Structure 1
Amino acid sequence: MPSAPFDIALEDTIVEACIQHLLKFSLHLDDYRLCLVVNGFFVKFNNYVDIYPEYETLKYISQCAKNDINAPRVPEIVHFFHREDLCWEYLVMENINLTPPPEDFFQRVAKAIQWLHDCPVPPDGARIGPVGSGRARHWLFWEYEAPLEFSSLLALERFLNRAIEKLPPQGRASTAPISISHEQLVFMQSDMDESNFGVDDEGRTCLFDFTTVGLLPESFASYTMSLTPNQRSMCRVASILVMSSGPLGLDKDGNPVPPRRRLTQASRMKDSTEEQPTTERKDSSAEKPEPKIKPPYPELDPAHITL
């Protein structure tokens, strides 16, 4: 629970603290993040496009955790506000005190991942990616982010199979088509960094960083835990996707884009990229690991997870 009720007058204090945070730390430091603790609250700030999907996802998962006594601890949202003059959105959360990782830390992480996987999809319908809006995040994609807000599993399947067509002839011939349109969408944490999990001073396992939490098909959720035909092919196409920021000539429905429209789409994406701030965020884009199949933790036994 939050340490104290939120006083609306604290908004100015938070804004000023975030400005000083930007001025104090170089944006080129590897460990620089757009977050800090202000008056006992944990605050994340960023532009609307980047932080609003995280806010909606955290709000939904936090509510699921409240209704489940077996759930891990999920930070509670205290306040969310924006300042148009600064073009920033501010997500204020409870600040959770953590203890050193216990011996069974990785088993705890496995259970937390399983709980997240089993969370029900939103009652108003499931969509690929964060709750509400935004592109899916997964290390299979270039810069950790899908090039489009795919409209369906079939659209994403078409995109992945288009990537197979970009493989060299020998690799293309030996790579099975990817089939995910029949799969269930499940919640997953795409960034399996150890810092995104913890144990609080009451002994509860905690989940953090909902920038990289969202709904993806089962094959994506088990990408680092098993080796099925889909995973083998996904591993192959990863070499194509991590080098390409574009949608491979497809639209959000997975259909080919006419050449003239494709040019306009590419120009628009380029302009959008140039307008984005160059700040580094550890939780979403600081380091992009090479695509791999092995579990992210040596100690994390896949047998603990029944995806």
Structure 2
Amino acid sequence: MSISAEIIPRAIPGLPSREVLAALCSAHSSEHFKRHRTRLSHFIYRPPKRRNFLSFFKSRGTPEPLALIKFGSHVTLGEARTQVYVFQRLKCDPSPPFRVAEVYDAWEDRLTGFIVMEYIPGLAATAMDGPRIAAAIHWLLALPPPDDGRLGPVGGGPMRHCLWRDDEGPTYESVERMDTQINNVRLFLSSLLIIFDTLNTDIEISRPYSESIR
């Protein structure tokens, strides 16, 4: 069965334009940085409160979240397409082991990516959730690749991982080429460990006995 990972913007009533959402994300991140000296990579959008026409008082309560926006230089369209693909696959599963937020929209503006998605409330995982987490990982490992599957995110593009410089790897044409590069990196790191071990041994040998046992 063919599963589409195309990002089709969905019109959500009450959700503002891309420009407004991007401005809100930027303002929210800047305000958080001023207070906590750290940057945020997500923003929960709630529609503004409406005034009651009859009483001229604000409506009670806080509006429910309408969407979650993930943003930052690390957010890519490849990530959004991959999320769309997993979401579509879960819809076809009669008993899905977990939920994935539906992607409403995604775009890149200069060096910043944005993914607007369904807001799913939840709680932080605990040790009691171990079996459910294991079931979710097993489901993901068994997930078949797309029809035009290739290494990297769905739809193509570089891999994102701390394994590579600047957290972005090259685009591999085959598994063999990726294996070759990773094996070369392993050999290089192994040689560094050997050099460091040799240096440490030489240092210990050159020290007086009384110093080496301190």
Smaller-chain TM-score range? 0.5 to 0.7
For residue 133 of structure 1, what is the amino acid of its counterpart? Answer: G
- CA contact 1:75–1:96 (8 Å) conserved in 2: yes
Q: Is 1:44 paired with 2:70?
A: yes
Structure 1: runs of 5 or more not aligned: 173-307
Deviations for 1:3-55, whole angstroms, at most 9, x for unmatched residues?
Answer: x96148601441231121232122996863221101221011235x7421111
Cα distance 1:132–1:113, how it changes in 2: closer, same or farther (>3 A)? same
Match of 1:10 among 11, 16, 22: 16
Q: 1:168 to 1:59 in 2, by over 3 A?
A: same
Say if 2:140 is the partner of 1:116.
yes
**How far apart are the structure 2 equivalents of 1:127 and 1:57?**
12
Write the mapping of 1:177-188 to structure 2, written as runs, cut at 5 A: none
Higher relative contact order (CA 8 A, sep 6+): 1
Structure 2 residue matching 1:168: 3-state secondary structure: helix
Q: Which has the higher helix share?
A: 2
Return the match for 1:148 from 153, 170, 174: 170
**Other structure's SS at 2:33 match:** coil
> For residues 157-236 of structure 1, what are the structure 2 equivalents within 5 Å?
157-166=179-188, 167-168=190-191
What 5-or-longer segments of structure 2 have no aligned partner?
1-9, 47-64, 196-214
Stretch deviating more after TM superposition (128-137 or 71-80): 128-137
Give the drift of 1:109: 0.6
C-alpha contact (below 8 Å) 2:75/2:115 kept by paired residues = no
Q: 1:144 to 1:16 in 2, by over 3 A?
A: closer
Match of 2:119 among 95, 104, 107: 95
- Secondary structure in 1 matching 2:29: helix
What is residue 24 of structure 1 aligned with on the other side? 31
Once the two structures are TM-superposed, the CA of residue 143 in structure 1 deviates from its matched residue by 5.7
SS in 2 for 1:135: coil
Question: How many Å separate the matches in 2 of 1:164 and 1:81?
Answer: 36
- 1:170, 1:88 → 2: CA distance? 37
Amino acid corresponding to residue 93 of structure 2 in structure 1: D
1:130 aligned to 2:153?
yes
One-letter amino acid matched to 2:25: C
With the length of structure 1 as denominator, give the TM-score of the two structures.
0.46
Counterpart secondary structure, 2:71:
strand
Q: Are 1:61 and 2:86 counterparts?
A: yes
1:120 Cα deviation from its structure 2 partner: 1.0
Aligned partner of 1:247 in structure 2 is none
Is 1:104 paired with 2:111?
no
Matches of 1:154 and 1:27, distance apart in 2:
47
TM-score (norm 2): 0.63
Preserved contact between residue 35 and residue 45 of structure 1 (Cα < 8 Å): yes
Deviation at 1:137, TM superposition (A): 3.7
Which structure would you say has the larger Rg? 2
| Equivalent residue, structure 2, for 1:202 | none
The CA distance in 2 between the partners of 1:144 and 1:115, in whole Å, is 30
* C-alpha distance in structure 1 between counterparts of 2:181 and 2:21, whole Å: 42
Percent identity, aligned pairs only, is: 23
Q: 1:179-202: per-residue Cα shift (whole Å, max 9, x none)?
A: xxxxxxxxxxxxxxxxxxxxxxxx
- Between the aligned partners of 2:133 and 2:146, the Cα distance in structure 1 is 23
Q: Which of 52, 58, 80 does residue 106 from structure 2 map onto?
A: 80
- TM-fit CA distance, 1:115: 0.5
State how far apart, in whole Å, the 1-side matches of 2:95 and 2:81 are: 22
Note closer, same or farther for the CA distance 1:163–1:28 as it changes in structure 2 (3 Å cut).
farther
Counterpart amino acid of residue 38 in structure 1: Y
Distance (whole Å) between structure 2 residues aligned to residue 69 and residue 171 of structure 1: 52
DSSP 3-state at the match of 2:81: helix
CA-based RMSD of the aligned residues comes to: 3.3
CA gap 1:27/1:90 in 2 versus in 1, 3 angstroms? farther
